[in-house]
Amino acid sequence: MEENLNNSLSGESSKRYNILHVDENPLLLSAGKTFLEESAGINVSTACGQKEAEKLLAGNVYDVIISDYRTDKIDGIKLLRSLRCRGDRTPFIIFTESRSADDAIEALNGGADFYLRKKMPPILQLPELYGRALSLAEEKKSSGIAVDYKNNLLSGIINGIPDVLAIQYADHTIECYNEAGYRLLGMTPDEVRNKKCYNLIGRDTECVECATREAVKTKKMQRIEKYVPELGLYLDCLSIPVLDEDENIVRIIEQLRDITEKKRTEDALHESEEKYEHLYNIMRMMCDNVPDMIWAKDTEKRYIFANKAACVNLLCAEDTAEPVGKTDLYFAERERARHPEDPEWHTFGEICSDSDQITMDVKVPQHFDEYGNIKGKFIFLDVHKAPFLNEKGEMIGTVGSARDITANKKAEEALLKSEERLTLTLDATNDGIWDWDIPTGNAFFSPRWYTMLGYEPDEMPASYDTWRGLVHPDDIGPAEKFIYETIRSGKDGYQLEFRMRAKAGDYRWIYARGSVVSRDEDGNPVRMVGTHTDITERKNAEIALRESENKFRTLVEKASQMLFLHDLDGNIIDVNRKAIKTTGYSRDELLSLNVADIDPDSDKRADNRWLWHDMPEYGDAVFEVRHRRKDGSVYPAEVHATKISIGGEYCILALVTDITERKRNEEALFESEKKYRDIFENSVTGLFRTTPKGIIVDANDSLARMYGYGSRTKLLKENVNAADMYANPAERERVLAVISENGIIENYEVTHVKRDKGLFKAIITARKVRDGDGNLLYCEGSVTDITKLRQTEDALYLANRKLQILSAITRHDILNNITVIRGFLDIIGDFDDYPLIKEYLESLDFSAKAIQDQIEFTREYEKLGVDRPAWLSISGIIRKTGRGKLSVSYECGEYLIYADPMLEKVFYNLMDNTVRHGEKATGVRVLCRVSDPDNSLIITWKDDGVGVLEESKETIFKRSCGKNTGFGLFLSREILSLTGIEIRENGIPGEGASFEITVPERSWQKGSADS
Quote the strand ranges of 863-910, DSSP E. 870-873, 887-890, 895-899
331 membership: H or E segment, kind and range: helix 328-338
Handedness of CA 716, 721, 724, 725 (dihedral sign): positive
pLDDT at res. 391: 87
Helices (H), 61-140: 76-85, 101-109, 126-137
CA-CA-CA-CA torsion for 271, 275, 280, 285, nearest 10 degrees? 140
Rounded distance, CA 388 to CA 296, Å?
8
CA nearest to 121, candidates 163, 172, 156? 163
In this structure, the strands spanning 443-445 and 432-437 are antiparallel
Please state whether beta strands 686-690 and 649-658 pair in parallel, antiparallel, or not at all (unpaired).
unpaired
Neighbours of 507 (CB within 10 A): 18
| DSSP tag of 70 | B
Q: How far apart are CA 310 and CA 314, in angstroms?
A: 5
Let me know: does 472 contact 478? Beta carbons within 8 Å. no
Distances (CA, A) of 187 to 162, 178, 190, 634: 17, 12, 8, 118
Rg of the Cα atoms in the chain:
49
Strand partners, 764: 748, 783
Classify the C-alpha dihedral 414-419-424-425 as positive or negative. Answer: positive
Is the preceding omega at residue 122 within 30 degrees of 0, hence cis?
Answer: no
Beta strands in 213-269, from DSSP E residues, in sequence order: 222-228, 233-243, 249-258
Cβ atoms within 10 A of the Cβ of 988, count?
11
Element (DSSP H or E) covering residue 583: helix 577-583
8 A C-beta contact, residue 397 and residue 495: no
User: HSE on the CB side for 52, CA within 13 Å?
Assistant: 16
Angstrom distance (rounded) from CA 717 to CA 699: 11
Residue-level pLDDT at 386: 94
What is the C-alpha to C-alpha distance for residues 377 and 345, in angstroms, rounded to an integer?
A: 8
Q: What are phi and psi of 761, to 5 degrees?
A: -85, 140
Residue 388, CA atoms < 13 Å, CB-side half-sphere:
20
Who contacts 558 (Cβ-Cβ below 8 Å, separation ≥6)? none
Pick from 384, 426, 377: nearest CA to 401 = 384
Cis before 447? omega within 30: no
CA pair distance 807, 862, nearest whole angstrom: 9
Q: What is the pLDDT of residue 426?
A: 60
**d(C-alpha 373, C-alpha 332), whole Å:** 10
Rounded to 5°, the CA angle 546-534-637 comes to: 85
For each of the domains in the chain, give its residue range(s) and CATH number, in order of start: 17-153 (3.40.50.2300), 162-264 (3.30.450.20), 291-411 (3.30.450.20), 426-534 (3.30.450.20), 546-663 (3.30.450.20), 685-790 (3.30.450.20), 863-1006 (3.30.565.10)
Q: What is the phi/psi pair of residue 913, to 5°? A: -65, -40
Instruction: Give Cβ neighbours of residue 690 (< 8 Å, ≥ 6 apart).
Output: 696, 697, 722, 778, 779, 780
| Residues of the chain below pLDDT 50 | 1-15, 140-150
933 cis-preceded (ω within 30 degrees of 0): yes
DSSP-assigned letters across all residues of 532-577: EEE-HHHHHHHHHHHH-HHHHHHHHHH-SSEEEEE-TT-BEEEE-H
What DSSP designation does 99 have?
Answer: -
Q: Give the C-alpha separation, 300 to 302, whole Å.
A: 5
Contacts of 901 (CB under 8 A, 6+ apart): 867, 869, 870, 872
Angle at 80 (CA atoms; ends 75, 85), nearest 5 degrees: 130
Distances (CA, A) of 290 to 294, 307, 309, 383, 401: 9, 9, 7, 15, 11
Distance, CA of 281 to CA of 259 (rounded, Å): 33
DSSP 476: H
Q: Which residues, listed in sequence order, are joined to residue 637 by a DSSP beta bridge?
A: 625, 658
- Strand ranges across the sheet with 923-930: 887-890, 923-930, 937-943, 994-999, 982-985
What is the model's pLDDT at position 508? 93
What does DSSP assign to residue 123?
A: G
d(CA 867, CA 90): 66
Give CA–CA dist 127/321, Å, rounded. Answer: 63
Per the DSSP assignment, residues forming a β-bridge with 942 are: 925, 994
How far is 998 from 938, CA to CA, in rounded Å? Answer: 5
The closest of 655, 652, 628 to 642, measured between CA atoms, is 652
3-state secondary structure of 616: coil
User: What is the C-alpha separation between 755 and 704, in angstroms, rounded?
Assistant: 10
CB-count burial class (<10 Å; 0-12, 13-18, 19+) for 556: buried
The dihedral sign for the CA sequence 306, 309, 315, 318: positive
- Residue pair 749/762 in contact by the 8 Å Cβ criterion: yes
Task: Give the SS3 label for residue 342.
Answer: coil
| Residue 878 and residue 887 in contact, taking contact as beta carbons nearer than 8 Å | no
Q: Cα separation of 52 and 821, whole Å?
A: 20
Distance from C-alpha of 652 to C-alpha of 646, rounded to nearest angstrom: 10
Q: Are strands 18-22 and 43-47 parallel, antiparallel or unpaired?
A: parallel
3 state DSSP class of 903: helix
* Residue 794 CB contacts under 8 Å (≥ 6 apart), including other chains: none
Q: In Å, how far from its chain's centre is CA 322?
A: 26
Q: Model confidence over 739-772: pLDDT tens digits?
A: 888 889 888 889 999 988 889 889 999 998 988 8
Residues 90 and 83: their CA atoms lie apart, in Å, by 8
Q: Which residues pair with 66 in a beta bridge?
A: 21, 93
Q: At what angle do helices 968-977 and 903-917 cross, to 10 degrees?
A: 150
Determine the length of the chain: 1011
| pLDDT for res 194 | 86
List % helix, strand, coil for the chain (3-state, nearest 5).
Answer: 45, 30, 30
